Every structure is written in structure tokens, then in C-alpha cells.
Structure 1
Amino acid sequence: MSVPDADMLISISEVFETPVSILLGESVDETRVDDLKVISEKLEVINLQLAHRKATIQKVIHWLFISLCVVIVFIFSILITLNSPYLGWDYNNPETSVAGVIFHAFEWLFVRIAPLALFGAILGISMTRKKV
């Protein structure tokens, strides 16, 4: 019977989340199809970007696990080669006694924790490898 003023049309369009042109009776079916096509193309691009990011993160984590394995094996080989030299040190000297205790604590903790970390890293490598 009557047409609301512009402010009222804007308020109604915001409440119903509908463009003002549709409230005034304009047909916009063709633009909706185009809008859906544009939206689907944008979603496809976003999906590809997310897949690429996920693959990159998986590759980085995979190489971090490999690096952890190499570091653990390297430290184990150094500890085996050194053969606990601190055992022959003079512990009457405060400087060598502190260094010896620190070295012994590191070696003791490493020998107990490193095998678990190595096993976890190998498991991580197998879980993050690229599936063909």
C-alpha cells in the first residue's frame, strides 16, 4: 500500500539480511548464480591454499623429526667416543668438580631420555612421511 522511506528500507534489509533491491521487487536471480560461482571459486582457491599449507607444515615437521634423530645419534656417538672422561677428574678442585657433576648429570639424563625421544622421532617420521 505504501513504500517505506530509505532509512526504513535499509533497516528492514539489515534485519532480514536481504538487499534493498529485492525488497523493492527487483529480480536478481542471474547475479545470485554468478555470486555462487564466484564464491565457489574463492572457496576452491582457499581450499587449495590450506592444503598447500598443511603439506608444507607436514614436510617441516617430518624434517624436524629426521634432524632430531640425527642429533640424538650424533650426541650418543660423542658420548661413546669420550667414554665418560669426568670419572678421572680431580674432584678436590671446585671448578672441575662442578663441571664433572654437570657433565655427569647431562650424560645420565641423556642416556635415559634419548632412547625414548629417538623412538618417538622415528614414529613421527613414519607418521609424517608423504603418502603415495
Structure 2
Amino acid sequence: MLNENIKNLRKAKGLSQEELAIKLNVVRQTVSKWEKGLSVPDSNLLISLADELDTSVSILLGETVQEPCVNELDLKSLSEKLERINLQFAKRSETRIRTIRYLLFALCAVIIVVFLAFAAMQSEYLNWDYNDPELAVAGTILHGVEFLFVRLAPFALIASIIGIIFTYKKR
């Protein structure tokens, strides 16, 4: 009776023999012997064992404990919950992908608009009078921005287009 109760309660708590042995400061073989009915714990260990298994000593010694069983209703409700969780994850993933796709579209649009703005300006700042310090600073900043943009924006545009293509790729 005691050996079955120890085994059933240990399994119900989700503990291995090794884990229970560590908690009780004994070796795993001792727990195995208790569960096989080859030996019994002494009174001090019996109290510690009852505490670790969240039960009373009387239940350990006499009352039978049923091994936890999973019935079909529990499995069905669990599978339904898992299905709902999976659907939620799929919706979140799709929303993330859609958001990334729209951000990449927006980046492409911004790059094209800025290219058109620079083309319309035709680098007019190069004709400014650079003897005026304020115009010299503003012209230098505009030239630096245009210089960097014209060299880096094509790579960003290509990367964005590739990203958009990958977000449409079927999984």
C-alpha cells in the first residue's frame, strides 16, 4: 500500500525518483526501493516525504491514492485550447508580416519621393553665394545629405523590394 501511494503521489506531483530523492537528501535507489516495496522510510523520512508530496502520513500509510488519469474530455478540451492558441499565434504572425510589408512599401514610397524632390531641386544650392556663412553651411548640409542619399537609397530600395517579395512568399 505505502509503495503504491508513494509512486502515485510522486507521479501526480510530476517528480522523478531522482528529484524526490534530492529533496529528501537520499539516493534515487532508496526511492526506487520504497516504490517497489523492498524497504520503507523511517518515521522522520516518512514525515518529510509526506511534506514533499503535499499529503498526510495517514494517506501515505493507508489510504489508496488513484493514479492520475486523463480522460477523453480533458484531452478534447486541451486540444481545443491548443487549437485556439495556435490560431491566435497565426493571426499575430500574419499581422506582423502585414505590418512589415506596409512599412517596406512606405519606405519605398519615401525613397522615391525624396529622389523626385532632389531631381526637381536640380542641386540648385550649388549656385548659391557661399561667401555668406549661413548659405555656405546650409548648402554644405544639403550637399552632404544628397550625396549620402543618392548613394545609399538604391540599396535600401532594393532591400525593401526584396523584403516585400519575401512577405508575399507562401509558407
Report the TM-score when normalising by structure 2. Answer: 0.62
Q: What does residue range 7-22 of structure 1 map to in structure 2 within 5 Å?
A: 8-9=49-50, 11-12=52-53
Instruction: Report the counterpart of residue 102 of structure 2 in structure 1.
Output: 63
Instruction: Name the aligned partner's letter for residue 116 of structure 1.
Output: F
Shift of 1:129: 1.7
Count of residue pairs the alignment pairs up: 124
Q: 1:24 aligns with which of 55, 64, 67?
A: 64
* C-alpha distance in 2 between matches for 1:36 and 1:6: 35
RMSD (CA atoms) = 2.9
> How does the TM-score come out when normalised to structure 1?
0.79
Relative to structure 1, is the Cα distance of residues 54 and 113 closer, same or farther in structure 2, using a 3 angstrom cutoff?
same
Answer yes or no: is 1:54 the counterpart of 2:93.
yes
Rg bigger for which structure?
A: 2
2:136 is the counterpart of 1:97: yes
Q: Distance in 1 between matches of 2:53 and 2:128?
A: 86
Could you give the per-residue CA deviations for residues 36-82 of structure 1, whole angstroms, max 9, x where no partner exists?
A: 22222111111110000000000010111111111101000010011
Structure 2 gap segments, 5+ residues each:
7-45
Identity %: 42
Q: Distance in 2 between matches of 1:100 and 1:6?
A: 85
